[in-house]
Amino acid sequence: MPGARRQRWRKMKAGDIPAAEALLKSAERFCMNACARYISRKAQKGEVWTLRGESSEMSALLVHARKGLLPVSRLDGPGAPHSDAPRFPAPHFLRGLFGAGARDIYSLQGREEDALAMEAQMEKIGMLAAEKIDFDLMCIDRQPGGFRAAGPAGLAIRKPRLADMDRLAELRAAYEKEEVLSADRALCAGNERGADRERRLAASRMRMEQIFASEQMLVAELGGQLIGKINTNAAAFTRCQVGGVYVHPDFRGMGIARRMAGEFVAGLVAQGLGISLFVKKSNPAARRVYRNIGFETVGSYRINYYRKG
């Protein structure tokens, strides 16, 4: 395939940074996590590879950080992959990423087209995903609406306090089991007893303390009880990503998520930020919440999880 020979991967150099950032900014709505990990790559000891064709235009890049592999291709215009070439020709370094130690890959994620193209290359070297999850990618760039009257009487949406941390750890652990953990890990979490559960709650508390210190967050309170939370989980060049959205099951179907998400997004947009998020295609209720306050579906997102052995 001649197009594949015209494209070549190489480790990003200082001179590549302007073109790499231009590519990421052009696709920012669709690759928030890649942008965030690119920006923080030095702190995370991350690596970036770039793909260039004969014209020397950068057509794609790969970000490797925190045991994740995040591909991003140019959406259109000069430098886009040739029609007779694969979106991502097999990177010569790919097999080496699955060695022992810190360079193991736990996840592959990105815009569906990019993730599927890299998934195909990984399968060629025998790397098969243990779980594949598809999401709707949703965005909003204006003030949300249709949320101010939502929720039961007495519902309070406020900023979290340090005194909330124990309850937030419980909500975070439940959120991870329901929305984040792969199926086998979620099953293990559901069967925890005693010390194992305490360790997981301690890990959730640590994560909530990190979010409290570095991200924006709101909580939902009803009758003096903390029942929901929402936070940012990635920041790019002009946008932020919303995640960690969780309402306790006993309080769902009451409009609490809509009110909480609406107030949170309104505050972010007022700061001049665009908002992106992704939600499981298998979760129509959550997609409905976001659509009702003004989010639009702009594409599909995919996360594959891998495990050793």
Domain with CATH 3.40.630.30 in the chain: 140-305
Q: What is the pLDDT of residue 99?
A: 56
In the chain, which ranges are continuous DSSP H helix? Answer: 2-6, 17-26, 32-39, 112-124, 165-175, 183-190, 194-214, 256-270, 284-293
Q: Of 217, 237, 219, whose CA–CA distance to 228 is shortest?
A: 219
The angle that helices 256-270 and 284-293 make with each other, rounded to 10 degrees, is 50
The CATH number assigned to the domain with range 2-128 reads 3.40.630
The predicted pLDDT at position 7 comes to: 80
One pLDDT digit (tens) per residue for the chain, 309 residues:
344 457 889 999 999 999 999 999 999 999 999 999 999 998 888 899 999 877 788 999 999 998 899 999 988 644 344 444 557 888 888 877 765 444 578 899 999 999 999 999 999 888 899 999 999 999 999 999 999 999 999 999 999 999 999 999 999 999 998 987 655 554 445 555 667 888 889 999 999 999 999 999 999 999 999 999 999 999 999 999 999 999 999 999 999 999 999 999 999 999 999 999 999 999 999 999 999 999 999 999 999 998 864
Q: Is 152 helix (H, G, I), strand (E, B) or coil?
A: coil
**Backbone phi, psi, residue 200, to 5°:** -70, -40
pLDDT at 197: 80
With vertex at residue 135, the alpha carbon angle to CA 232 and CA 127, rounded to the nearest 5 degrees, is: 105
Answer for the pair 138, 177: CB distance below 8 angstroms, yes or no: no
* Cα–Cα distance for residue pair 291/131, rounded to 1 Å: 27
Which superfamily does 140-305 belong to? Answer: Gcn5-related N-acetyltransferase (GNAT) (3.40.630.30)
